């Protein structure tokens, strides 16, 4: 390959937000007509760098150059989003910006509607959207309401919108976070077709297998700086991870080293009595008038991890919240050991040995304005009071001692118990939740998206904790949108689709090829007769 013409060159980029130095001298060179992966841990400054490129912010220092129509780079430092769109730079954000009550076509043309005689020319809008969709394999019916679309379809609409505005340089911010494995494969198809058609794509991600799968070249960021650039063909996941974290990391089971990380389930030492620590029978949970959980039964034994795989929004959230006591149960039962807790309060369940790592630490898992120490007692606050009623004072000495102890054991950084939880990084915030839920006594653990949005180092730590809990005989129900996480940890894998468990597989039978179709509602044709 001859040295390719550049589509984007960013040099010496600095950007601060108050005391936070998001970019410190970052560099990026993206060749024309390539898929470029921008990788790094959370908080490495990837999104900031791309927002600078898309004109959402202006850099404090440094230059941004983008190739014009003639292919020559021109300085566009500090341009606006309108300038960027005009020059063909478009960004697909992590959070979709669509009007749910409008159709796909209406959303796509919003802001530059085709007009005939002063009226919206809807027929032409639909034709335009269909044409672009067909061209790149972005299949979605233009006349449907966006509110009715799946997450994957909504993302296609976002990409269509960007293409409709004439984007030739597409920036995608963590596009696969919400997609099923099948949808990810479709997205890769779309991106390759765009590349063949002459588009340049920058993909922000922290999933290494994706980087290896799809990209041509890689830029790695750490602490706001560019630390490595490589050709994907010459890179290994280990090398990328080392560059991201700055040290060697034990990667969790990716598809290439499936099952190699841990012992197969039948070798796990178990207690002699295989009684269930968590049993759920015929559970029905409603959400917005729909049966979000539709007759789920499952058992988790002590010393076992049951993984629930599935595309998000298939009832996993409602299932976990119903078990935790945060959502009323329509029918069915939840038992902890021998105790029926179907109607018990949250506190009752905690007292009965239930621990819960909630999927959304910013909404449920932490009170962000409370100190680390105060967050480390959430759910246990009555045990830290000097008396039984709520009028009693909390025992600050014990709260402080508990905080010191858990900060040390779980390596929460910075080790300052009076900082508000808001001030910590995502990984350390999650460690607060992990320390609180797993640091004390419990029998059953609900772990919902335990490593969402945390960096590779923290993932390694959290997975270690979950494995240790299994060895200690805890019953663990794990829900994760990351199939690789399920495969790395679970002894058995249950697949949830449309509020039901459509299949339960032993770990050895659970392969990505088999789980993928199940997650999208296909019936399992490879199920052995036994």
Give the residues lining the site for another protein (CB under 8 A).
324, 326, 345-347, 350, 356, 358, 363-371, 373-374, 378-379, 381-382, 384-385, 389-394, 396, 400, 417-418
Specify the residue, 131 or 347, whose C-beta has the smaller distance to another protein.
Answer: 347
What lies within 8 Å, CB to CB, of 351 at 6+ separation is none
Specify the residue, 273 or 393, whose C-beta has the smaller distance to another protein.
Answer: 393
Selection from 189, 203, 213 nearest residue 139 by Cα: 189
Specify the residue, 268 or 378, whose C-beta has the smaller distance to another protein.
Answer: 378
CB of 411 to another protein, least distance (A): 20
Alpha helices in 421-495 (DSSP H): 426-438, 456-471, 483-489
CB of 18 to another protein, least distance (A): 16
What lies within 8 Å, CB to CB, of 186 at 6+ separation is 137, 152
CB of 364 to another protein, least distance (A): 4
CB of 337 to another protein, least distance (A): 19
Specify the residue, 373 or 494, whose C-beta has the smaller distance to another protein.
Answer: 373
β-strand partners of 115: 120
Specify the residue, 347 or 508, whose C-beta has the smaller distance to another protein.
Answer: 347
How many angstroms separate the CA atoms of 154 and 108, rounded?
A: 11
Residue environment code for 417-439, b if the CB has 16+ CB neighbours within 10 A, otherwise e: beeebeebbbbbbbbbbbbbbbb
CB of 385 to another protein, least distance (A): 4
Specify the residue, 31 or 400, whose C-beta has the smaller distance to another protein.
Answer: 400
Specify the residue, 139 or 383, whose C-beta has the smaller distance to another protein.
Answer: 383
What's the token pair of residue 310?
A: 């599935």
CB of 356 to another protein, least distance (A): 7
β-strand partners of 339: 336
How many angstroms separate the CA atoms of 204 and 195, rounded?
A: 16
Asked if 499 and 297 touch (Cβ cutoff 8 Å), the reply is no
Residue 125 belongs to what H/E stretch?
A: helix 122-136
Specify the residue, 272 or 390, whose C-beta has the smaller distance to another protein.
Answer: 390
Measured torsion, CA atoms of residues 467, 469, 475, 481, in degrees rounded to the nearest 10:
-50
CB of 352 to another protein, least distance (A): 12
Residue that the structure tokens 């970052």 belong to: 26
What string of DSSP letters covers 286-314?
Answer: EETTEEEEEEEEEEE-TTEEEEEE--TTS
What's the token pair of residue 236?
A: 């290994």
Specify the residue, 353 or 365, whose C-beta has the smaller distance to another protein.
Answer: 365
Q: Is 240 exposed, middle or buried, given 0-12, 13-18 or 19+ CB atoms closer than 10 A?
A: buried
CB of 415 to another protein, least distance (A): 12
CB of 173 to another protein, least distance (A): 25
Specify the residue, 115 or 418, whose C-beta has the smaller distance to another protein.
Answer: 418
> Sheet of 304-309: strands edge to edge?
354-357, 444-448, 475-479, 304-309, 492-497, 500-506
CB of 284 to another protein, least distance (A): 21
Specify the residue, 103 or 371, whose C-beta has the smaller distance to another protein.
Answer: 371
CB of 380 to another protein, least distance (A): 8
What's the token pair of residue 478?
A: 């794990």
């Amino acid at each position: 390959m001859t040295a390719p013409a550049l589509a984007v060159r960013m040099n010496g980029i600095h950007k601060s937000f108050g005391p936070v130095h998001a970019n410190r001298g970052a560099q990026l060179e993206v060749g024309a007509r390539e898929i470029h992966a921008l990788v790094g841990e959370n908080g490495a400054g990837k999104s900031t760098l791309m927002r600078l490129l898309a004109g959402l912010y202006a850099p404090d220092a440094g230059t941004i150059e983008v190739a014009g129509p003639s292919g020559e780079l021109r300085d566009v430092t500090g341009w606006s989003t309108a300038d960027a769109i005009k020059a063909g730079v478009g960004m697909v954000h992590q959070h979709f910006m669509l009007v749910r009550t409008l159709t796909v076509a209406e959303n796509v043309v919003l802001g530059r509607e085709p007009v005939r005689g002063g009226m919206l020319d809807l027929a032409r809008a639909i034709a335009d959207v269909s044409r672009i969709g067909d061209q790149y394999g972005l299949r979605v019916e233009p006349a449907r309401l966006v509110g009715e679309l799946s997450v994957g379809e909504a993302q296609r609409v976002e990409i269509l919108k960007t293409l409709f505005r004439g984007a030739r340089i597409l920036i995608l911010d963590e596009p696969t976070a919400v997609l099923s494995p099948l949808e990810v494969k479709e997205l890769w198809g779309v991106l390759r077709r765009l590349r063949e058609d002459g588009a340049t794509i920058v993909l922000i991600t922290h999933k290494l297998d994706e980087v290896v799968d799809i990209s041509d070249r890689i830029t790695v960021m750490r602490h706001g700086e560019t630390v490595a650039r490589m050709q994907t063909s010459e890179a290994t996941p280990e090398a990328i991870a080392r560059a991201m974290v700055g040290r060697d990391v034990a990667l969790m089971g990716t598809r290439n080293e499936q099952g190699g990380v841990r012992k197969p389930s039948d070798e796990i030492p178990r207690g002699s009595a295989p009684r269930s620590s968590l049993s759920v029978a015929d559970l029905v949970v409603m959400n917005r008038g729909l049966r979000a959980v539709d007759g789920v039964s499952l058992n988790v034994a002590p010393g076992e991890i049951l993984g629930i795989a599935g595309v998000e929004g298939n009832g996993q959230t409602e299932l976990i919240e119903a078990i935790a006591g945060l959502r009323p149960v329509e029918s069915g039962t939840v038992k902890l050991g021998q105790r029926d807790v179907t109607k018990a309060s949250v506190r009752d369940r905690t007292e009965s040995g239930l621990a819960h790592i909630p999927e959304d630490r910013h909404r449920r898992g932490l009170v962000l304005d409370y100190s680390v120490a105060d967050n480390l007692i959430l759910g246990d606050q009555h045990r830290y009071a000097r008396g039984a009623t709520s009028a009693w004072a909390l025992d600050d000495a014990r709260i402080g001692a508990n905080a010191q102890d858990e900060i040390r054991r779980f390596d929460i950084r910075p080790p300052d118990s009076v900082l508000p939880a808001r001030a910590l990084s995502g990984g350390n915030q999650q460690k607060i939740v992990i320390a609180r839920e797993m640091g004390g006594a419990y029998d059953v653990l609900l772990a919902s998206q335990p490593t969402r949005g945390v960096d590779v180092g923290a993932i390694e730590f959290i997975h270690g904790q979950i494995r240790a809990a299994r060895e200690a005989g805890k019953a663990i129900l794990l829900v994760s949108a990351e199939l690789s996480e399920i495969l790395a940890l679970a002894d058995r894998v249950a697949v949830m689709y449309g509020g039901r468990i459509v299949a339960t597989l032993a770990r050895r039978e659970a392969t990505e090829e088999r789980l993928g179709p199940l997650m999208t509602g296909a019936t399992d044709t490879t199920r052995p007769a036994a």
